[in-house]
Amino acid sequence: MPLEMPPASPPSLRQVLADFGGTYAVNGLVAFIFAASGPVAIILAVGTRGGLSESDLASWIFGAFFLNGLVSIAVCWWYRQPMVFFWTIPGAVLVGPALGHLSFQQVIGAYLATGALMLVLGLSGWVKRCMDAVPMPIVMGMVAGVFLRFGLDLVYSIRDAFWIAAPMTLVFFALAAMPRLARRLPPLIAAMIVGGAIVALLGRFDLHGTALLALARPNLYAPVFSWQAMVELVVPLAVTVLVVQNGQGIAVLRATGHEPPINAITTVCGLGSLVTACVGTVSTCLTGPVNAIITASGERERHYTAGILVGVLALGFGLLSPLFTHLLLATPRPFIGALAGLAMLRVLQTSFVVSFSGKFTLGALVTFLVTVADVPIFNVGAAFWGLVFGFAASWLLERGDFRK
């Protein structure tokens, strides 16, 4: 059977509480705050640019946290490994341009198709072959092209709201330059606190009369299946989940001595994506940065408790998604732009390094240029064509890299 089974039976509640401790509580809390800051700002930046309403965004965030929180708790408990699942950030960014010419219901149809594809790959055991078939530099060239706009938005935010974005950026880099202090107070969280304080002092919060403490009432969407959305989104979404996000998360866990079950992870991502798509949330993935934080210290056999804590905190955040969505949308747009840009800096750096430091560099360059140009062909978005033309360029002119 392709699905890997846990080496031991799941722990009892008493065992979970016995394995839990201060180190895992701190790691879990910091990991959750990271997930609830910059990545949420990315959702809001993408959604507002794509014309989604506040209700749509709150429903998206509910699925991203509450439903994926349930998945994370179950998987961490079943396998006794720190496997936290959230949503694919590159996939969310891919959706932004698509919303310019596709309806949200068509995008949700693509989410469902992507989930079904990943479910088949996970159950069949083919996922490793598919991951190996796509050269990572070409994939990361697409990611770099998609993420570039967030780096530019950081610069534009400093230009448009200097007294908000510039202090955020200064605090971020100052803390990043002091690793010992940054471990206690992550730079992105400090930048968010400083930016929020400045926005409050300047009186820039736009808190119009809404019931802030209302619990989440997620929207249920009827999907629309269109060939245009399928061609444009399904393959890039699946690639970003399986190769970029899951690949990063699996590498993080292996580096700390864990043995993540690849087929089971893919199957969980497929099932999670099918469920979360119904409330408008982009595809589920194994997160890299969050799992890196919760495995940074402590005993390997007890890391799973930090993952369970992240899942529990995600449940609360998802239930209160209208509150957090409203608060963030009440801030000036440059605050969101700066926070999202700072959150993406390291990812953008990594995507450039992977794309242009080894093999397939010409294919990666072609992919990057086509993606950045953002010119749709046959009404299909540029990210898909970036992968196609980049792979074709490498196949024609970099055959030696394929042989290696």
Task: Please state the domain extents for the chain.
Answer: 13-204+221-403
pLDDT at 209: 55
Q: Which structure tokens are listed for 276?
A: 């979360």
Is the entire prediction scored with pTM above 0.85? no
> What percent of the chain clears pLDDT 90, i.e. is strictly above it?
42
Q: Which structure tokens are listed for 172?
A: 């971020």
Give the ranges where 210-332 is alpha helix by DSSP (H): 227-229, 235-239, 246-255, 262-276, 288-294, 303-319, 321-329
Give the whole-angstrom CA distance, residue 147 versus residue 134.
Answer: 20
Task: Assess whether pLDDT exceeds 70 at residue 75.
Answer: yes
pLDDT band at 276 (very low <50, low <70, confident <90, very high): very high
pLDDT at 207: 65
The residue assigned the tokens 């390291």 is: 346
User: Considering only 269-278, 303-312, 343-352, which range has the smallest mean pLDDT?
Assistant: 343-352
The radius of gyration of the chain from alpha carbons, rounded to an integer in Å, stands at 20
Give the whole-angstrom CA distance, residue 79 versus residue 385.
Answer: 38
Q: What is the mean pLDDT of residues 333-353?
A: 82
Q: What's the half-sphere exposure (Cβ side, CA atoms, 13 Å) at 199? A: 25
Task: Assess whether pLDDT exceeds 90 at residue 270.
Answer: yes
pLDDT digits (tens, 9 = 90+) for 121-157: 988 878 767 666 778 788 888 878 877 887 898 999 9
Neighbouring-strand partners of residue 343: none
pLDDT at 379: 63
Angle at 280 between CA 277 and CA 285, to 5 degrees: 50
Task: Assess whether pLDDT exceeds 70 at residue 212.
Answer: no
The residue assigned the tokens 């010419």 is: 101
Q: Which residue has the higher pLDDT, 382 or 153?
A: 153
Phi, psi values for residue 20, rounded to 5°: -75, 155
Q: What is the mean pLDDT of residues 372-393?
A: 82
b vs e for 222-242, b when ≥16 Cβ sit within 10 Å of the residue's Cβ?
A: ebeebebbbbbbbbbbbbbbb
Q: Which structure tokens are listed for 159?
A: 């230009």
Give the whole-angstrom CA distance, residue 191 versus residue 171.
Answer: 6
Check residue 102 and report its DSSP letter: S
pLDDT digits (tens, 9 = 90+) for 164-185: 999 999 999 999 899 888 877 8
255: buried, middle or exposed (CB in 10 Å: 19+, 13-18, 0-12)?
exposed
